[in-house]
Amino acid sequence: MKLIKNITLALCLVGVNLINAQQKPIKYESFKIEKGEFKFNGQAVKLHSGEIHYARIPHEYWRHRLKMVKAMGLNTIATYVFWNYHEIAPGKWDFQTGNRNLPEFLKIAKEEGLMVILRPGPYVCAEWEFGGYPWFLQNDKDMKIREYNTPFLNSTKAYFTELYKVVKPYLIVNGGPIVMVQGENEFGSFVAQREDIKLEDHKKYSSSVFDQLKEVGFKGMEFFTSDGDWLFEGGALPGALPTANGDEDPENIKKEVKKFHNDEGPFMVAEYYPGWLDHWAEPFPRKAAERVKSHIEKFMNNDISFNIYMVHGGTNFGFTSGANYDKTHDIQPSMTSYDYDAPITEAGWETEKYLKLRELLKTSSTPPIPAKIPVIQIQGIKLSQAIDLENVKNNVKPVINDNPLTFEQLNQGHGYVWYSKNFNQPIKGTLKLDGLRDYAIVYVNGEKVGELNRYYKKYECEVNIPFNGKLDILVENMGRINYGAAINKNTKGIISPVFINDRKITGDWEMYGLPFEKAPVIDAKQKSDLKENRPTIYKGSFNVSKVGDTFLDMRPFGKGIVFVNGINLGRYWSVGPQQTLYLPGCYLKKDNNEIIIFEQKNNKINKELNTLSEPILDKLIPENGSN
């Protein structure tokens, strides 16, 4: 039976490829905004677009996801370019390896007959780390991010210059699929949030960034801006089509676009939300499929183009997820899954929403839905080794300073820093970490005494440090804020003095950087050192009879990150609502797969791990956030 199923699946895939191969290739000759319409190759066209971020999808699956988009009936994709994903260190660029290979993504989009809307920022929001800005920009004290000043504009110019080099062949003016380029992003929101800056100064900045795009080579392309239509005054730019975010009322959209675009269209909703963003410790948002279909149908009936944000969300692998904040929470970290309740799930599956939209959008030339990537379950992955994180930390040379230093001052972007302080006299009272960014576990002489968390605004715990005692504080960066006025205050670690009672604790702070850019190495000969309530690194290995997608069941664990075959799958946290981690089958091999789990809390000892055939993204356990 299994053999028959595999042969059937193979035949289905061959059939899909033959159908696509028989379709006439699309010519990319021209794209213009003329007389209130989009014109593609001289013909009026409506953009039926879906947002999809190449950085959030394994590059091995790019073609599958783009085929899914095409099979839903869309003719266009939109994608952000995340500046910090490509400038991996100051002046060091990567547009070629793995998921960073933007030219390859654009090549596949062209082969699949899709138009592309490029959204280069430099600010992107997108629930992405720091809204796309490189963390190290904050080390230039003369720089004001997202404001008119020479250091920042020099940096944006360098980014746009590098970007243009790699996308130039894929612009419509050069026969490529990129038909429009965005100038800045949601800048009207920033203008509303930063009322301390004059509108003319805001405009001076946004105009300068827009001019830079043209100066580096994008001149001749069609440009657009993207804002809530009630924020066009702050966000619209002369020479760029204003498009609406989040509005579902055709009358409002048309009225506001006309006001800022010579009393004519074309009209477009650049971000229509079929779901919504997801934070740790908060309910998973859902949006009914019928409601989404009715909104898209309304756009179509009113000659409004649209971009579904997101049509497929993907995954915030590694440390790429960002964060928000509100009056109740000083940070709201985004989940690892960026499923978004989108029409195409995190793992690339069609949903009821997908099928309803396909019913509405498909034409006689719409291809069939691609076959689902195989899914497997793995039971009883043995975690054969476990060591205390202190064993890893002891191999790191500490930085010593009178006061704690931030991640940025330590030249570290992500991960963890272990802060340590020895006391030659006893002291007890309330430890105050008002400058915690973002999450910490506190130890006295190796014993856990507290858990502090910026989400819950918990910055204090009681300590009793004896003579010759030691205070250790393990701090996690849970992702830099990506939206709002606080984006300019995004340093991490311990960013202000530490107090016990009213006494400032200074002198000989030791700081051990644990960025975990790669999986920590555990020597096979190293003896296990396993204790509850101590930060622990688990290691295991497993084989599979066949390769396929699966979901790590992290419910028995507390908080941490997971590497499989050296790839950081992202963060987990038992508070939920996400309780699983997506493990793409393309990251597996049949023999000798290695798994490394860094478990920060380790409230209980775990000896094995299982996987599931479906994700758990909506199981909230609030009580797990405070213990």
For residues 452 and 438, give the distance between their C-alpha atoms in angstroms, rounded to a whole number: 8
Phi, psi angle pair for 60, to nearest 5°: -65, -20
Q: How many C-beta neighbours within 10 Å does residue 509 have?
A: 22
Please work out, in degrees rounded to the nearest 5, the angle formed at the alpha carbon of residue 322 by the alpha carbons of 321 and 328: 130
Say if residues 409 and 516 touch (Cβ distance below 8 Å).
Answer: no
Say if residues 449 and 472 touch (Cβ distance below 8 Å).
Answer: no
For residues 167 and 160, give the distance between their C-alpha atoms in angstroms, rounded to a whole number: 10
112 given a catalytic annotation:
no
Phi, psi angle pair for 195, to nearest 5°: -70, -10
Cis amide bond preceding 343, omega within 30:
no
CA neighbor of 215 nearest in space, from 156, 147, 157, 151: 157
CA neighbor of 430 nearest in space, from 459, 466, 472, 402: 459
Q: Which of 51, 256, 271, 350 is catalytic?
A: 271
Say if residues 353 and 476 touch (Cβ distance below 8 Å).
Answer: no
Strand partners, 324: 332
CA neighbor of 572 nearest in space, from 347, 314, 230, 317: 317
For residues 307 and 58, give the distance between their C-alpha atoms in angstroms, rounded to a whole number: 22
β-pair type (115-119, 178-182): parallel
Tokens 């003369």 locate to 142
- C-alpha distance across the termini of the chain, in Å: 48
Measured over the CA atoms of residue 504, residue 510, residue 516 and residue 522, the dihedral's sign is negative
Q: How many C-beta neighbours within 10 Å does residue 250 have?
A: 17
For residues 263 and 189, give the distance between their C-alpha atoms in angstroms, rounded to a whole number: 23
Q: Which of 51, 127, 186, 408 is catalytic?
A: 186
Q: How far out from the chain centre does Cα 551 lie?
A: 19
CA neighbor of 419 nearest in space, from 571, 350, 430, 431: 431
For residues 2 and 4, give the distance between their C-alpha atoms in angstroms, rounded to a whole number: 5
Say if residues 406 and 548 touch (Cβ distance below 8 Å).
Answer: no
* Rg, the chain, Cα only: 25
Look at residue 559 and give its three-state secondary structure. strand
Give start and end residues of each alpha helix (H) in 275-410: 289-301, 352-361, 389-393
127 given a catalytic annotation:
no
CA neighbor of 168 nearest in space, from 213, 230, 123, 227: 213
Q: How many C-beta neighbours within 10 Å does residue 541 have?
A: 14
Tokens 């800022």 locate to 260
Residues annotated as catalytic (active site), given as ranges: 186, 271
